[in-house]
Amino acid sequence: LDDPVTDVLPEFEFALDASWAPSITVRHALAHLSGMFDYGEYSHPDDDQLEARMLWYAQNYFLMAPSGRFWNYANPNYSLAGWMIERLGEGYYREVMDESVFTPLEMNRTMFLGSEVLADGDYASGLTTNWETGVGRAVAEPDSYDSSFMRPAGFAWTNVLDLCELIQFLIEGDSTLLSEAMRQELMAEQVSTLLMGDRLHYGFG
């Protein structure tokens, strides 16, 4: 957790300062402590270009402060973690997640591709803020928007029963998927004195 992300992703380098990427640890990314400027995108349906998008991000964005200085929720933290998962898992993020998490937990109604949801046919559309203009309301269908960059930050389709499987895993653990020591680390306080509603601290994700 305290190794630099560049140990896994040596090509990750910010154009503005080559010292920034090696200063980000895995823990920084998972706890939103990297200092990376927030960014999100919605316009690349069904692609698997997370690596290319992260390299583009590093050429165009920056750290707001030295890593570890302060907490700031930023989606690229989890995009970075997802890229590490792709590298270590030797597959696309969505594939590694399905093989390593969803299938073992019997989360059979959880998927990332809108095309898979449409093919399944049993889904609910969402009424939300218009994601293209930021103004007014729009109906979100499974293929309305998607981005491999954003999948590690939460772009997944699921249902209540599958969420219960995930919650049960987080509460009770399963050493065949994640060591008990790492599960405890997952649930532990990573950022203290965070005043955000009734939350007093922040963990991973």
Residues above pLDDT 70, as percent of the chain:
95
Average pLDDT (15-39) is 97
Helix (H, G, I), strand (E, B) or coil at 79: helix
Nearest-angstrom CA–CA distance, 32 and 80: 11
Q: What is the average pLDDT across 7-14?
A: 98
Which is nearest to 14 in space by CA: 31, 46, 36? 36
Q: How far apart are CA 144 and CA 155, in angstroms?
A: 12
Rounded distance between C-alpha atoms, residue 142 and residue 124, angstroms? 9
Is the pLDDT at 103 greater than 90, yes or no? yes
The per-residue pLDDT for 49 is: 93
Helical segments of the chain, H only: 20-23, 26-30, 50-60, 76-89, 93-97, 114-120, 160-172, 180-187
- Using pLDDT thresholds of 50, 70 and 90, give the confidence band for residue 192: confident
Residue 196 burial (CB count, 10 A)? 11
| Candidate ranges 92-96, 155-159, 184-188; pick with highest mean pLDDT | 92-96
CA trace torsion 128, 129, 130, 136 (10° rounding) = 120
User: pLDDT averaged over the chain?
Assistant: 92
Provide, rounded to the nearest whole percent, the portion of the chain with pLDDT above 90.
80
Question: DSSP character for 140?
Answer: E
DSSP 190: S
Q: Which of 39-48, 81-90, 126-135 has the highest mean pLDDT?
A: 81-90
The pLDDT value given to residue 66: 96
Phi/psi at 83 (5° precision)? -65, -40
| Per-residue pLDDT tens digits for 63-94 | 999 999 999 999 999 999 999 999 999 899 99
pLDDT exceeds 80 at position 200: no
Beta bridge partners of 126: 140
Structure tokens, 36 = 């990376």
Residue for token pair 């065949």 = 176
> How far apart are the C-alpha atoms of 80 and 9, rounded to whole Å?
9
pLDDT exceeds cutoff 90 at 32: yes
pLDDT value, residue 134:
87
Higher-confidence residue of 198 and 202: namely 202
Strand partners, 199: 196
The two structure tokens encoding residue 105: 């937990």
